[in-house]
Structures are given as structure tokens and as C-alpha cells.
Copies of this chain bind each other. A is one copy, B any other.
Amino acid sequence: MSERPSTRIATHDETSITVRGHDLVNDLIGRRSFSEMIYFHTTQRWPSPGQVKVLDACLVTLMEHGLTPSAIIARLVADSVPEEAQVAMAAGLLSVGSVFVGTMEGAANILAEGVASGEAGYCLRVVQEHRAQRKHLPGFGHPLHRPDDPRSPRLFEVARDAGVSGRHIALLHDLSKTVDEVYGRHLTINATGAIAALLLDIDLPIPALRPMAVVSRSAGLVAHLLEEKETRSGRFIWRTVDEAIPYDSRLR
């Protein structure tokens, strides 16, 4: 049947497991790091050492940011379903969505299009269009970190030192200069913008970007689940929220 799909991901028999053409036991376990495997499994190419370095930097950056919605949710679910840790983790990951992490994809789309087109004046056009439409320019600005998101320059430094800083990072810097000129004030390149550029410069496809944030954040949530077992914050969160939002008896 012509429409029958196949898979190039994995197969197994009685004595072996094959992942993307490689023997799991002899070629992968003990020979490849988790980060190398993430890169390979996602792109079907083995990464250079510099590419691994950059992927590691991005995964480490995205892993933890304290009591974010994903951590709050994971703690509440862990309190309700203590025996199934994956449920608390999955519930938290559901919030790694379009509003927050989605800006990484927005930034990536802008960068990828600019690099692909090579259009002269691309940055100016994009910034002016966003400004004219009063649309937030993804990858720029941060509600807390001022004047600059401290993660972004460090991420650029890592990419440069690893020898993989390429055209997407360069374009993001051009875009940043244009932003400051057009807006007449400094807007920081935020971490999601920087990470978008780095991951594109190590040749990850755009649809892999949000999943990288999910993988990284899943690792961050492990610590929240372990801490929840000690502090039992779930009940406290529930009570705190319930008390902070009063009942308003006026019907609408």
C-alpha cells in the first residue's frame, strides 16, 4: 500500500537493538554522551565537538528558572499523584507552550528566513514591520532582566569559542543594532532569541527547537519533584493561591 509509512528510527530482534542504523549495545552505550545522542537522533548526523558544546550550553540554560508555571504545576500534581512521577513531569511540560517558548520559534523563523533570503535591508524591514504593527519582536526584550539578559552574551561567547558561531548569530546581532536604532532605545536580546540563533547555527531544524526546551525543562523538573517530597509545597501553593484570589459575589 503506497501510503503505508515506514520508520527510520529503531528496530530490534532477540539479540540486538538498532537505533538509526547503529547497534545500540556496541556503538552507542558507553561511546556516546546523552547530548551527542540527542543531536544525532534529531539530525541524523553526529555533531562536532563544538556543536555538542553549544547544544549543552543551550540545554543547561533552559533547564531551570525557579518557580515557573511548569514547576508549580509539577509540584501540585506530585502532591495529588505521588506514585507516578511522570504524570507530574508531563503536566508541567504541557505549559512549555506557545506563549513563552513559542517566542524561540518566532525568533528562529525570522532568522532562518533572513539567512535563506540574503535580502539586503532584511533587518530594517522586519523591525519596521513589527513596530508599525505594534507586534512584539520575538527574541527581544525581557520583563525582568535589564538592561540586558545576562545569558545572551554568554551564549554568544560559547558559540564563538566553540567555533560554530555562524550566520544566524550574525544576523541576530544585525537585527539587534537595527532594533536599537529604530526604537531609539536599547532592547536586550533575550535568552530565547540567543538560543534560537545558536541552535540554528548548529544546524538543528526549527521544529526541533521547542522540543529541545521540553527535554531540558524535563530535567529541571526532576529537582522540583525531589524537593517536593521534602517540603510538601503543593498544599502551601494551593492554600496561598486560594487565599490570594478572593470570591466576588456579584454575578455577571
Interface residues of A, Cβ cutoff 8 Å to B: 3-21, 24-26, 28-30, 32-35, 37-38, 41-42, 44, 52-53, 55-57, 59-61, 63-69, 71-73, 76-77, 79-87, 89-91, 93-101, 144-146, 148, 150-151, 154-155, 157-158, 161, 205, 207-208, 210-216, 218-227, 229, 231-234, 236-238, 240-242, 244-252
Q: How far is the CA of A150 from the CA of B61 in the complex (A)?
A: 35
Chain B residues whose CB sits within 8 angstroms of the CB of A4 once the complex forms: 236, 244-245
Q: Which of A25, A34, A71, A89 has the most CB of B within 10 A?
A: A34
B80 touches A81 (CB 8 A): no
Chain B residues whose CB sits within 8 angstroms of the CB of A215 once the complex forms: 215, 218-219, 222
B95 touches A93 (CB 8 A): no
Chain B residues whose CB sits within 8 angstroms of the CB of A3 once the complex forms: 236
- A and B contact pairs by CB, cutoff 8 A, 10 listed: A5-B245, A13-B144, A15-B148, A17-B151, A21-B251, A30-B154, A38-B219, A73-B77, A87-B97, A211-B225
Q: Which of A21, A151, A247 has the most CB of B within 10 A?
A: A247
A211 touches B60 (CB 8 A): no
Smallest CB separation, A220 vs chain B (Å)? 7
B15 touches A34 (CB 8 A): no
B207 touches A251 (CB 8 A): no
- Beyond A5-B231, A84-B87, 11 extra complex contacts between A and B, CB < 8 Å: A5-B236, A7-B233, A7-B247, A12-B65, A15-B145, A20-B251, A26-B154, A72-B237, A84-B97, A89-B211, A236-B244
A238 touches B72 (CB 8 A): yes
Chain B residues whose CB sits within 8 angstroms of the CB of A59 once the complex forms: 34, 37
A98 touches B69 (CB 8 A): no
Chain B residues whose CB sits within 8 angstroms of the CB of A42 once the complex forms: 222-223, 226
B90 touches A25 (CB 8 A): no
Smallest CB separation, A229 vs chain B (Å)? 6
A94 touches B72 (CB 8 A): no
